[in-house]
Chains A and B, each alone.
Chain A
Amino acid sequence: MFDQIIIKVLLIAAFIIFGLILLRPGGSARNQAIRTITLILLFVAAVFAVLFPGLIDDLARSVGVGRGTDLLLYAFIIVFVGNSLTAVRRRRAQDEQITQLARQIALRSPERPQDAQQEGEL
């Protein structure tokens, strides 16, 4: 239960933060900026990890994880789940826009029974 406590706290904190992000109304300029900055930090970290492979092992041990590869797997899972959640969210928003669009098209051109009869006679 209490072994690897640091990594457990970190992982749980990450999931809670994802949850809070999802509860907020999204799409603000700040959220977008945070996403961009996170992405840049990830790239920088990736470069360092490639240059100094030992760094990841050191980092893993400092948070109580045995190997660097395990730490990478955990980090990957967090990013993946976060990405999935934002993708779902974006799709919902898009669905609503499409619904509005289709509804407006439908409301603009009602077809009445007389129209059909006239077409039939022509």
Chain B
Amino acid sequence: MDHSSHNDDTWLIIPLFNEATVVREVIADARTTFPNIVCVDDGSSDDSVAEALAGGAVVLRHPINLGQGAALQTGIEFAREQPGAAYFVTFDSDGQHQVSDALAMVQRLRDEPYDIIVGSRFLDGRTNAGALKKFVLRLAVLFERLSTGVRLTDAHNGLRAFNLTTARTLRIRQNRMAHASEIVAQIGNHKLRYAEQPVHIIYTDYSRSKGQSLWNSVNILSELFIK
């Protein structure tokens, strides 16, 4: 297969918000494996857009800040219309995801009959997360199992790979943080064939300094329930 060696049938979808210091390197690094990258700038106030273009990505700009979920949906709608696009990967702009993990996930989509592969931090021991963070993520997993019937070990992993069927099915309406739970719910509702892949998330000082705080779990619940 010509496609599979060059990955030119695959699009990386990267939501971008004020990551000018790291995004060029992240994209340039990913581009050595995945030539097609679309960055959705969510109203950044720094040089993120110029840096992303310099890294070699196509950039879509939200005129106002809408949230990461909205950016993902915009990226998916763009990528699924591109000629030859067959596989899609949602990837983080701050370098916490590994290109090698993404590559392995796309390879599984090619070889195995799945619609979506979701990354998980808890299938092997590579990722170091704090005890409290682990506990809260476990609670989220339990909650999602009960409410959606989808059995995953890591509820809020941003690294996902999926095929065109999934790209056309997903409709993310939770603009902000609750989109991860919404995607899990849609996997269940549309009976998508899913599997998990052990991935390594690097909690760098940089990503920690952004403070992906546990308070967010409260916000996520409120976004899900208060309609």
* Interface residue ranges, A against B (CB under 8 Å): 88, 92, 95-96, 98-99, 102-103, 105-107, 109-113, 115-116
Contacts and interface: CB of A to CB of B under 8 A. Distances in A.
B64 A98 contact: yes
B54 interface: yes
Interface in B19-72: 38, 40, 49-50, 53-54, 56-64, 66, 70
A119 to B, nearest CB: 9
Q: Is the interface of B mostly helix, strand, loop or mixed?
A: mixed
Q: How large is the interface on B (under 10, 10 to 19, 20 to 34, 35 or more residues)?
A: 20 to 34
A99 B50 CA distance: 24
Q: Is the interface of A mostly helix, strand, loop or mixed?
A: helix
A91 B78 CA distance: 27
B191 interface: no
B74 A107 contact: yes
A96 B58 contact: no
A111 B64 contact: no
A111 B40 contact: no
B120 interface: no
Contacts of A110: 38, 58-60, 78
A116 B54 contact: yes
B73 A103 contact: yes
Given A92-B227, A111-B59, A113-B53, A99 B77 contact: no
A110 B142 CA distance: 40
A102 B66 CA distance: 8
Contacts of A107: 60, 74, 77-78
